[in-house]
A and B are shown apart, each in its own frame.
Chain A
Amino acid sequence: MTTAAIAYSALCIAVLGSLGRIGRWFWIKIGPENQEAPSLRAAARSFAATLKAVSAAGLRRPLRSLAVDTLFQLHILKHDWRRWVMHMALFYGMVLLVVLHALDDFTLKPLGVDYMPTLNPWRFLRNLGGIMVLTGVAMAVWRCRADPFRKRTRSLADRLARTFLAAMVVSGILLESVQILSPAIFDAMVDDYAFSDDIQEIEALKTYWSSSWGSGVTAELPTDDAQILALGQEMHAAFCADCHDRPQSAFLSYPVSRALKPLADRLDRLGLEGLLWYLHFITACLGLALLPFSKFFHLLATPISLMVRAGGPAEATAPALRSVRRAMGLDACTHCGVCSQHCAVAVIYQAIPNPAILPSEKIGALKRWTNDAQSPVASQLAEGSFICTACGRCTQWCPSGIDLQDLWQASQKDLVRRGRGPAHHWIRSQNAAQWASGAGSKPLNPAHQAHTLGLGDNPETFWACVQCTTCTNVCPVVAVAEDPHRDLDLTPQQVMNLMRLQLRELALGARMVWDCVTCYQCQEHCPQGVRVADILYELRNEAVRRLQPIAPRAQGSEDAQGEA
């Protein structure tokens, strides 16, 4: 009764949680479309739009996707057969275990087949499922260890999921092996099913089981006595054979039980069988309950995502559906890391240790930022997002069919709107003087300058300047400005002079610094060899470092024009 309550509770949690998460797809908004505040009405509209889009797309392609991508996972096989093996082992191992074992009361028994957990092929299939899952987990662990790239990015969620699977299977194997071995169970079974009071017969059955069926009972009769064994076999045929096949078919549990045989009595005294049963049961229930809250949710999200994806690229879909697809995409990610393997800018991660550069990690950061806009992950996400070159390979490779490129483009716009755009966006939100008043206009202490390597910190950089204005004169950015002071704040020469006057705060936020196209005309024409362009470049880096923390953040959607 209690176990049933636990199981059904877990099921409820799993169902409600999944519904909740699916509901969120319609609730959260990623991207520029439909920027009103989240509301039930808006969610309902999204849902309706989704239904409409899905029904309009017809069922043929989504079903084909379900078959090809979910059942056979051909999309994985296409680029990495080892990964396919791993994933297929995990997936079908679990399917076997769930269908034939966990849900046997609902699958096999109602079908009226000749079902007993201790009969073949069920026993064999259970062990097969077990070994598949274990193989899959082992491959996953090995892949993670062996690949330095994955090693750096593996997450707690990954490990948790693997641990759960392994715990579930291992506890099952141990349970089965203990059951095979246990003298107490044997005795209880004999009491229940062997209708004989003849001690000799019972002893013979024991001897027969001990010698051929792996039971851990201590037989008092010699096992090499053919007569006794024949009697035992007779007994077995009469009372046991209907429900018991040879345990050797449990090719995982049986060897374990052999190994444990010397301890058989002790294990019984410890009540290990009961313990293992609960362990196995609880891990299974926990796994079920955690389904919507862990990586396992991709079991649902990924096939749905794949099916929806089959409807066509994001741009082609209705705006309301686009946002839903993005939210779905966040859940569909299995953190497999394929996107990061193919990412055009992944190498930058070696120089800038910000995991949000990698798409596989960026999606996690985006998930957290979507949940909490004030999350400290925001700046990491912003940096990572704008390093992306939009090459589109992540979308191309994603086995879960997430349109990552679309997700990035949408989230970039969100970042910009909330004042977390790339530097050239937020730097324009204020002019140089406003930045300066925020940065504090105290001159930098030259005491610190002596220790920095920056060109701009070294007074000698500007000594040679004879104020001829050549740098400004040859600057193509100045030349095309309608009004240099208004459009650029400062001309190159003025930036140099502010630096010389140690008023770099005033120069830091100048749009000239950001509009510089690094054509190096200024530097090449400078008759005195002042490294004008290099200094501008250096300032740009410094501005990102120093001004980003004080950049004003737009709070609501009314500032949505900020991205212009």
Chain B
Amino acid sequence: MAPPLSFIQQREPAGDGPLKTTVLIIGGGVTGTGLARDLALRGIESVVVEKRDVNAGASGANHGLLHSGARYVASDPAAAAECRRESLRLKQLAPHCIEDTGGLFVAVAGDDENYIADFPGLCARCGIKAQPLDGREAREMEPCLSERLIAAYRVADAAIDPFRLALDNMAHAVQLGGRLLRFNAVVGFNLAHQRIRSVVLRDDITGRSQEIEAEVVVNAAGAWAGEVAALAGARIPLLYSKGSLLVTGTRIAQRVINRLRHPSDGDILVPGGTVSILGTTSERSASPDAIYPEIQEVDRIIDQGTAMVPMLATTRYIRAYCGVRPLVSCGEACDDRSVSRGFALIDHGQADDNPLDNFLTITGGKLTTYRLMAEKTADRVCQRLGRGDACRTQSEPLPDTVAGRWTEPGLAPRTWMERGNPGDLLLCECEMIPQAVVDDLVRTLARQGGAASLKAIGLRSRIGKGPCQGTFCSQRVAAYLYDRGVWQDDRGIDELRAFLRERWRGQAPLLWDISLAQAELLEATHCGLFGLELDPVDPGG
């Protein structure tokens, strides 16, 4: 059996009275977990509260691209240089989360020639290496590329697993005394004397409320930072930019492939283990909730991507997803892509109206610069606290814990075959995930005090992520969890419904050709035979 996950030594909140900590971090994305680790390394205790699960927001819904910085050389040279420094650093400090694929910037006939001409100079100015290639060389490296290439450069892009990154950050923080509360939403703040006295949480699973007192509260809620701040009466002018991405059934290219043009839709193809991820779009959204990858976005991404990589027109797509980038607003007239992708650290103690001395917000930014964001925030926290050591995340390698591992494509089948335990049946055939992995995840979740829901298991593994998108694995896992006594009563129906609905969000915009046939089988099974869409019949009639 797999060793237990290390970071879950979760104590139940003490019965009465508020929980106390030094720093309360709201949001379990990559920034929040990174900040928890940064603080822990400085000897400062913290608690991370997350209203859903780790990386539930944009941290988990992005390309998984570790930018070399070349994408921003024209639009945001400062951010480009930051990316260059941080990506180099992460490659050294967290190599297990990164596949150092290298990247290409390619332009095809019809792309803006001026941008192409300026590109090498702009890269040089930001200190970013961009090695020119001729079309033949580029196509030799990546045969999937279009024959209509007119320019190609080789850069130091890489693929990064954001789930593993966040889980490893959190695991390290917990090792050093930090804590994580999942499915705990912030529902209110108790304020007094320009300070946050305590934060009110509601446990979304048990429904219980509790309070936490902290010396400093950091709002790292990403796209929800504005809503959280509003609960404390603070205002943050945030724009929501929705980005949708598509997952292909197979890995199409070995390297990251970027379109060499002003950043636009469908111009990055990033390898992610056994698949490739194509994106993205940028659509203004009114709220960070209830967002879907829309059909017109999907079509646009494919049409644009096809110019670079023709086989994207015909390949089988597995699913679509979207996330919301929080952009700190510069007024109504701004184009979302020109709004700084740099981060914003807001000290609410310096606000003109309703200042809160112990409240900070960190939002915006990029996955690539998460560590820098955490460092700058922690600096400010230490300044507020008047203590704390210097930052150590610049040089301390990120420990490789087992926490993030079942999300890695191909790991489950390899482990399953190595163990060669005949009784260990595969519950998910697409991604080849056996019972032992499900057992492992159930134990993990139990230790986290959370329930073993299908969605939670799916988040921590590749179950439901293969071509069948839950058609078979959902019921196989459900049956197994009943057999193991994890589930009782009629919970399974709701679980199946919730899980399949969640999967459907990513399938619905991609249903043509074979995916549609697959969806037909899904519906025939779960609606036609199981009648999951209907009110259950009382067996007596």
Contacts and interface: CB of A to CB of B under 8 A. Distances in A.
Given A432-B417, A501-B274, A506-B417, A463 B142 contact: no
Given A459-B249, A467-B466, A467-B471, A447 B254 contact: yes
Interface stretch (A89-97, A294-302, A490-498): A490-498
A2 interface: no
Task: Name, among A446, A464, A466, A469, the residue most crowded by chain B CB atoms within 10 Å (CB to CB).
Answer: A466
Interface stretch (B5-13, B69-77, B89-97, B425-433): B425-433
A465 interface: yes
B430 A443 contact: no
Contacts of A463: 249, 315-316, 514
Interface in A465-501: 465-469, 483, 485-486, 489-490, 493-494, 497-498, 500-501
Given A463-B249, A467-B429, A468-B521, A447 B143 contact: yes
Contacts of B417: 431-433, 436, 489-490, 506
Interface in A381-412: none
Residue among A432, A493, A501 with max Cβ neighbours from chain B (10 Å): A501
Contact of B432 (A432, A436, A489, A494): A494
A445 interface: yes
Given A443-B274, A467-B468, A502 B251 contact: yes
A343 B468 CA distance: 52
B429 A446 contact: no
A436 B418 CA distance: 9
Number of chain A interface residues as a range? 35 or more
A163 interface: no
A450 interface: yes
B467 interface: yes
A139 interface: no
A549 B211 CA distance: 65
Contact of B422 (A466, A485, A503): A485
A564 B34 CA distance: 56
A152 interface: no
Contact of A497 (B316, B424, B429, B471): B429
Main secondary structure of the interface of A (DSSP, over half): loop
A501 B410 contact: yes
Interface in B374-422: 409-410, 413-414, 417-418, 420, 422
Contacts of A502: 250-251, 274
Contacts of A503: 274, 410, 413-414
Contact of B518 (A441, A466, A489, A506): A466
A183 to B, nearest CB: 80
B462 to A, nearest CB: 10
Interface in B416-461: 417-418, 420, 422, 424-426, 429-432
Contacts of B410: 443, 501, 503
Given A441-B414, A485-B422, A446 B432 contact: no
A285 to B, nearest CB: 64
Contacts of B250: 446, 459, 462, 500, 502
Nearest to A458: B250
B256 to A, nearest CB: 14
A431 B514 CA distance: 34
Contacts of B122: none
B286 interface: no
Contact of A466 (B414, B431, B521): B521
A451 interface: yes
A494 B316 CA distance: 19
B514 A464 contact: yes
B409 A501 contact: yes
B472 interface: yes
B517 interface: yes
Contacts of A485: 420, 422, 424-425
B426 A447 contact: no
B479 interface: no
B291 interface: no
A285 B531 CA distance: 98
B253 A446 contact: yes
4 closest cross-chain pairs (CB), A and B = A459-B250, A433-B417, A450-B143, A486-B422
Interface of A: 431-433, 436-437, 441, 443, 445-447, 450-451, 459, 462-469, 483, 485-486, 489-490, 493-494, 497-498, 500-503, 506, 528
Given A466-B521, A468-B521, A501-B410, 11 more contacts: A433-B418, A443-B410, A446-B252, A462-B249, A466-B471, A468-B472, A486-B422, A494-B432, A497-B413, A501-B413, A503-B413
23 contacts: A431-B417, A436-B414, A437-B418, A446-B251, A446-B253, A450-B143, A450-B144, A451-B143, A463-B316, A463-B514, A466-B467, A467-B430, A467-B467, A469-B429, A485-B425, A494-B426, A497-B430, A497-B432, A497-B466, A500-B467, A501-B432, A502-B274, A503-B413
